[in-house]
Structure 1
Amino acid sequence: MPADSTRGPGIPGEPDDARPRRRGGRGRRRKPPTGRRRALTAMAWTAAGIVVLGGTGAGFLYFKLNGNLRTIDINQALGRDRPTKADNGSENILVLGSDSRAGGNRKIGGGTNDGSARSDTAMIVHVYEGHKRAGVVSVPRDTLVDRPQCTDAKGGTHAAAHNAMFNESYSAGGAACAVKTVESMTGLRMDHYLEVDFSGFRKLVDELGGVQVTTTKNIDDPRSHLDLAAGTHTLDGRQALGLVRTRHGVGDGSDLGRIQLQQAFVKALADQVKHIGVFTNPKKLYDLADTATKAVTADSDLGSVNSLIAFADGLKGISSSHMTMVTMPVQYDPANPNRVLVEKAKAQQIWTALRNDRPIPKSATQGTATGKASGVVSAP
């Protein structure tokens, strides 16, 4: 019997006789999409561009559309003079939030006026062997550090500096110098780098439909445009950005208090992403992908859809309950209360633990400066 030219293409993988046929000369009725067709449609959108917002405490991870993502070749900029890469499957990721006023960030305020940027938020994320747990260490932007000589992504050289603010590493030489400073300070190899800007962060939260948090105290900070009464709130993008940037509305008004709010928000965000069902809603997945990839800059090893899909797939089992989030041990600088100094012995406990893929010891953060904002914000 000759092939029936009136038959449609069917679903790949189904036998020919499973395809609908025309009968009695009447037109074929269009059937509603089956679960399998919906799944294939979702897969097609995913193949077009997947962006994941991962939940490791580092604050933030993104699946992306190829054409949007900006990349930086960190390996070429830093060369071979770097800590040894771990061989047990564990990974370290440096996540930075940029406070530039360039582009869409100009309307938000904060940061620098000349289009340059500093690393307003910095998190070192250690993904343990097996990729079921993560340790996250927030680095206060006001920490005084010894910045090593470094080469930026364009080949420019930047001199070393003693007692420089940590976030000035980024403004001096961009991502490469920020990574170089972190590696010099910790002795840990940063396998990946991710950076997100303020404008993109705000849009991402809006695309997700907001993030729910509970505040135990009133937060009122006109500088970050945040006014929240104690209680449970679903924060939109503007409010979420205000929360992770506020430092005058909680605790002692220091960057340390802001870090505690950031860590609480990241945990709430990580749990919400797992429950909003973006992978069952192709349009939501695509919109999130498009927004995220316009906001993110990644190292070149993550500069392809396949690389990010594989990377994100290895992190999907990490929930907030499997994250340990701490602040790098510091004390206030006696000479300047707006600066902090590294508690080197305690910090070394953390770096040694992560280097050996071990849990962060509680003793490493006992007796260190905290910012006094603990417990102000939590996931509901």
Structure 2
Amino acid sequence: MGQSSVRGDRARRRRQPETPEAGRGDGDFSEDKGLPPDAPGWTPPEDGAGPAAEGEAEGGGHPGGGQARPRKGRKALRWTALALAVLIVGGAGAGYWYYEHLNGNLRKAPRSLGGGGLQKPDPNAFGQSPLNILLLGSDGRNNAKNIELGGARQDADRKPLADVQMLLHVSADRSNMSVISIPRDTRVTIPKCTDPKTHQVYPQTSGAINQSLQHGGPGCTLATWQELTGIYIDHFMMVDFGGVVDMADAIGGVPVCVDNNVYSHDSKGHGSGLKLTKGVHSVKGVQALQWLRTRYGFEDNTDIGRAKAQHMYMNSMVRQLKKDAKLTNPGELRDLAEAATKALTVDDGLDTVKKLYDLGGDLSRVPTKRITMVTMPWQYSPDESYVMPKPGDAEATFGLLRNDTALDGKDKKHKPAPAPKPSTPKDQLKVVVQNGTNSTVNGPVSGRAAVIQQKLSGLGYTSAGTDSALTTQADTTITYGDKARRGDALALAKALGLPKEAVRESSSATGMRLVVGNDWRTGATYPKQPGDDKGEDKAPDSADALNGDDTKACMKVNPAYSF
């Protein structure tokens, strides 16, 4: 499977990216493969075709209980199961003996494999902390059921990829939830990771973000996200093919909408087989999987449209579960709890159902009107073989979550906490300046590190030096490894006119490092960025936000796949 299905039809004319570690054929995950009281926060019939034939190739690839009957199909409901499993288990209401039974269903793995990692932020004045959970979908074929559902039997011995990835952020006061997905072929730095079972050390490398799972497991994917976003991630939850199918059947019908008749199928075998007439339909089982796999037929036939369809489904399912009788029917709740726990691999901080129960309590407090789903702002590489974080917008989105700011822009305005004072005189602060303008789009700008180092010297930072190595970075950042140095980093950012979002703790930083990104390719004065004058603390338009209470959301059908 190539690392580029986010492009859809555009993939036919691009160069295939190199994925030496993937070891896979095309299309495996494609549609046609197979608190205190004063604290904040108190307050129609199925209609469709069957699944695509097993092993059917799409020619592209990615971006991204009880006695439930397994169904043929593939993937994308995996992450839906992840996000809702905690709600389901949290509402199960079973006795402790049943929790102990469910504990045996859970698979566990270390939280982070990337060394020391970020430090958890300090709680706010009310003792509250935000909660960040990484939701992953694996394409592993480690058993007969996953091979049947995933197809591509030749890949049974291949290490799985994390083809669905999204971060669920719950605010410290539990008043809102933001979910950000990242296309699976986004080019990132994968940090050095050590496999906890074999002790094999994987050196730091650059690659598609879904390959991080092959570097020791989900803990390396978590470390990769932390390195990319600067966000401390508390937990991960991962599910495979079989878990998706079981959850799809256990959850039941979910309303979805299309703005025209759609049949996701063409003469070349592209498509999920989804067939719906214009309007609202309740989908479950195979048809739900078809909806979540559909790329050919939605919008411009890319994974970005597919992500939007997944967001619509997830929001609709949350609304459905909040009002559905399944939440009060003990038998069906047991089926849901069984399916959820059997589906999940969790980190060692979520290794019991009691912990999932408590987590479910946190999530259930968030009203649907304060749930926001977005896709990381992105742009194509020059040859369209992969995608990259969009300069400015991607970092702005990550910065909002680092600062526990809701992506819907509806947070009440609070006086910001005072910044920590610098601990080091600026003339003694050792800052390493590095040129991060090695853009594959425009090429590097020679001498950028020296220009900014001279600027710093003029501002009194006379101990600043340069790193001659070129790197590639969309946005200018200041990173530090010691939590006590945050005051120094913020003072440095202020002196240069950088936004506070440019300052981040980094597990790989050994000192203070200023990387001059592609948002600052000329001059010694940091340029004004798009959106600086809006005065809004919300996700940029390029994040394509969808609100959890939007019952009128309807997928746009590509005319070429209408009937």
The structure with more strand, counted as a fraction of residues:
1
Q: CA deviation at 1:367?
A: 4.8
Match of 1:298 in 2: 346
The counterpart of 1:124, out of the listed 155, 164, 167, is 167
Specify whether residues 281 and 57 from structure 1 end up closer, same or farther in structure 2 by C-alpha distance, changes over 3 A only.
closer
Instruction: State the shift of 1:125 in Å.
Output: 0.9
**How far, CA to CA, are the matches of 1:161 and 1:308 in structure 2?**
34
* Counterpart residue identity of residue 376, structure 1: M
Aligned-partner Cα distance in 2 for 1:101–1:225 = 23
Give the whole-Å Cα distance in 2 for the aligned partners of 1:367 and 1:283.
43
Q: Secondary structure at the match of 1:95?
A: strand
Q: In 1, are the aligned partners of 2:111 and 2:348 still within 8 Å (CA)?
A: yes
| 146-155 or 307-316, which deviates more | 146-155
What's the counterpart of residue 355 of structure 2?
307
Superimposed CA distance per residue, residues 82-141 of structure 1 (whole angstroms, 9 cap, x where no aligned partner): 243452321111001122233322222367822432112111111001212101111110
Q: Percent identity?
A: 34
Classify 1:262/1:56 alpha carbon distance in 2 versus 1 (closer, same or farther; 3 Å). Answer: closer
Segment drifting more, 305-314 vs 271-280: 271-280
Q: Which residue of 1 aligns with 2:320?
A: 272
Task: Answer yes or no: is the 8 Å Cα contact 1:59–1:123 preserved in 2.
Answer: no
Structure 2 unaligned blocks of 5 or more: 1-76, 90-98, 266-270, 408-535, 546-552, 557-563
Question: Is the 1:93–1:124 contact (alpha carbons within 8 Å) kept by the matching residues of 2?
Answer: yes
Structure 2 CA distance, aligned partners of 1:294 and 1:175?
Answer: 17
| TM-score, length basis structure 2 | 0.53
Residue of structure 1 aligned with 2:203, choices 159, 162, 178: 159
How many residue pairs get aligned? The number is 319
Alignment-derived partner of residue 376 in structure 1: 555
Give 1:98's aligned amino acid.
S
**Higher RCO structure, 1 or 2 (CA under 8 Å, sep 6+):** 1
Is 2:156 the counterpart of 1:108? no
Residue among 540, 546, 551 paired with 1:365: 540
Matched with 1:99 is: 139
For 1:218 and 1:109, locate their aligned partners in 2 and report how far apart those are by CA, in whole Å: 28
* Aligned counterparts of 2:275 and 2:537: Cα–Cα separation in 1: 33
Q: Give the Cα separation in 2 of the matches to 1:152 and 1:86.
A: 30
Q: What secondary structure, in the 3-state scheme, does the structure 2 residue paired with 1:132 have?
A: coil
Partner secondary structure for residue 297 of structure 1? strand
Instruction: Report the counterpart of residue 69 of structure 1 in structure 2.
Output: 106
Q: Retained in 2: the 8 A contact 1:57–1:324?
A: no
Counterpart of 1:355 in structure 2 is: 402
Tell me the TM-score normalized by structure 1.
0.76
| Residues 1:110 and 1:219: Cα distance change in structure 2 (over 3 Å) | farther
Q: How far apart are residue 229 of structure 1 and its match?
A: 2.3
Range with greater deviation from structure 2 (122-131 or 234-243): 234-243
User: Which amino acid letter does the alignment assign opposite residue 96 of structure 1?
Assistant: L
| Residues 244-253 or 101-110, more deviating | 101-110
- Listed one character per residue, the Cα deviations across residues 295-336 of structure 1 (whole Å, up to 9, x for unaligned) are 111111111121111111111122432111111010122212
**How many angstroms does 1:364 deviate by?**
4.8
Aligned-partner SS, 1:82: coil
Secondary structure in 1 aligned to 2:323?
A: coil
**Separation in 2, partners of 1:74, 1:188:** 14
Distance change >3 Å, CA 186–CA 228, structure 1 → 2? same
**Aligned residue identity for 2:120:** T
Residues 241-261 of structure 1, C-alpha deviation per residue, up to 9 Å, x if partnerless? 222222222122222111111
Q: Distance in 2 between matches of 1:238 and 1:348?
A: 37
Distance 2:544 2:263 in 1: 23
Looking at structure 1, the residues matched to 342 and 544 of structure 2 have their Cα atoms a distance apart, in angstroms, of 36
Q: 1:282 aligns with which of 330, 337, 346?
A: 330
The runs of 5 or more residues in structure 1 that have no matched partner are 1-52
**Distance in 2 of aligned mates of 1:152 and 1:189:** 21
Residue pair 1:329, 1:364 contacting (<8 A) in 2 also: no
The match for 1:8 is none
Aligned AA (2:155): N
